[in-house]
Chain A
Amino acid sequence: MSSLLQIEKLNFSYGDLKVLWDVDLTVNQGEIVTVVGSNGAGKSTTLKNVSRLVRASSGKLVFDGQDLHALESHQVVERGIIQVPEGRRIFSEMTVVENLRMGSFVKSTRPDREKNMERVFTLFPRLAERRDQLGGTMSGGEQQMLAIARGLMGNPRLMLLDEPSLGLSPLFVKNIFDIIKEINRQGVTILLVEQNVLQSLRISHRAYVLETGRVVLTGKGEELLRDDRIKKAYLGA
Chain B
Amino acid sequence: MIVFLQSLLSGVLVGGVYALIGIGLTIIFGVMRIINFAHGDLLMVGMYLTFFIFTLLGIDPFLSILVSIPLMFLLGAFLQKVFINRVLNALPQNQILLTIGLGLVMSNTAMLLFTSDYRILTTSYSSGSVSLGGLSISTPLLLSFLITAAITAFLYWFLLKTDIGQAIRATAQDRDAAQLMGINVKRMSVLATGLGAALAGTAGALISPTYYIYPQVGSAFTLKAFVIVVLGGMGSIIGATMGGIIIGVTESLAAVTPFIGSGLKEAVVFLLFLLVLLFRPAGLLGKSRM
- Taking a contact as CB atoms closer than 8 A, the residue among A83, A101, A134 that contacts B289 in the complex is A134
Give CA–CA (A154, B179) in the complex, Å: 13
Q: Residues of A contacting B163 with CB < 8 Å? A: 101, 105, 110
A77 near B173: Cβ-Cβ < 8 Å: no
B181 near A77: Cβ-Cβ < 8 Å: yes
B36 CB → nearest A CB, Å: 22
B170 near A94: Cβ-Cβ < 8 Å: yes
Encoded as 1 (CB less than 8 Å from any A CB) or 0, chain B from 153 to 188 comes to 000000000010011011001101111111111100
Give CA–CA (A110, B167) in the complex, Å: 14
- Taking a contact as CB atoms closer than 8 A, the residue among A74, A78, A89, A101 that contacts B174 in the complex is A89
Encoded as 1 (CB less than 8 Å from any B CB) or 0, chain A from 86 to 112 comes to 000111111000100111011000100
Q: Which 10 A-B pairs have the closest CB atoms?
A: A77-B182, A73-B179, A89-B177, A106-B182, A74-B184, A91-B173, A74-B182, A102-B181, A83-B180, A105-B181
Chain B interface, DSSP helix/strand/loop, else mixed: helix
Residue of B nearest to A93 (CB): B289
Residue of B nearest to A87 (CB): B177
Do A93 and B287 contact each other (CB < 8 Å), given the known contacts A77-B181, A102-B166, A105-B183?
yes
Give CA–CA (A134, B177) in the complex, Å: 16
* Contact of A53 with B by CB under 8 A: yes
* Contact of B124 with A by CB under 8 A: no
From B169, B170, B288, residue with most partner A Cβ within 10 Å: B170
A94 near B173: Cβ-Cβ < 8 Å: yes
12 contacts between A and B (CB under 8 A): A51-B179, A53-B176, A72-B186, A74-B185, A77-B179, A77-B180, A89-B176, A91-B170, A92-B173, A93-B289, A102-B170, A105-B183
Give CA–CA (A83, B181) in the complex, Å: 8
Q: Residues of A contacting B185 with CB < 8 Å? A: 74
* Contact of A150 with B by CB under 8 A: yes
Residue of A nearest to B164 (CB): A105
Q: Residues of B contacting A91 with CB < 8 Å? A: 169-170, 173-174, 177
Q: Residues of B contacting A98 with CB < 8 Å? A: 166
Q: Residues of A contacting B169 with CB < 8 Å? A: 91, 93-94
A85 near B182: Cβ-Cβ < 8 Å: no
What is the interface residue range for chain A against chain B? 20 to 34
Residue of A nearest to B184 (CB): A74
Do A154 and B182 contact each other (CB < 8 Å), given the known contacts A93-B169, A110-B163?
yes
From residue 138 to 187 of chain A, which have CB atoms closer than 8 A to chain B? 150, 154
A172 CB → nearest B CB, Å: 21
Give CA–CA (A110, B290) in the complex, Å: 23
- Taking a contact as CB atoms closer than 8 A, the residue among A51, A94, A110, A134 that contacts B180 in the complex is A51
Q: Name B residues whose Cβ lies closer than 8 Å to a Cβ of A.
A: 163, 166-167, 169-170, 173-174, 176-186, 287-290
B173 near A105: Cβ-Cβ < 8 Å: no
Q: Name A residues whose Cβ lies closer than 8 Å to a Cβ of B.
A: 51, 53, 72-74, 77-78, 82-83, 85, 89-94, 98, 101-103, 105-106, 110, 134, 150, 154
Give CA–CA (A53, B181) in the complex, Å: 12
B101 CB → nearest A CB, Å: 29
Give CA–CA (A20, B128) in the complex, Å: 72
Q: Residues of A contacting B290 with CB < 8 Å? A: 93
Q: Residues of B contacting A105 with CB < 8 Å? A: 163, 166-167, 181-183
- Taking a contact as CB atoms closer than 8 A, the residue among B179, B181, B183, B186 that contacts A150 in the complex is B181
- Taking a contact as CB atoms closer than 8 A, the residue among B166, B176, B179, B184 that contacts A94 in the complex is B166
Q: Residues of A contacting B176 with CB < 8 Å? A: 53, 85, 89
Q: A82-B180, A85-B177, A94-B169 are in contact. List 20 more A-B contacts (CB 8 A).
A: A73-B180, A74-B182, A74-B184, A77-B179, A77-B180, A83-B180, A89-B174, A90-B177, A91-B170, A91-B177, A92-B173, A92-B287, A93-B290, A94-B170, A94-B289, A102-B170, A102-B183, A103-B181, A105-B167, A106-B181
Q: Residues of A contacting B170 with CB < 8 Å? A: 91, 94, 102
B5 CB → nearest A CB, Å: 36
Q: Residues of A contacting B288 with CB < 8 Å? A: 93
B160 CB → nearest A CB, Å: 8
Q: Residues of B contacting A77 with CB < 8 Å? A: 179-182
Q: Residues of B contacting A78 with CB < 8 Å? A: 182
B26 CB → nearest A CB, Å: 14
Residue of A nearest to B235 (CB): A93
From A98, A105, A110, residue with most partner B Cβ within 10 Å: A105
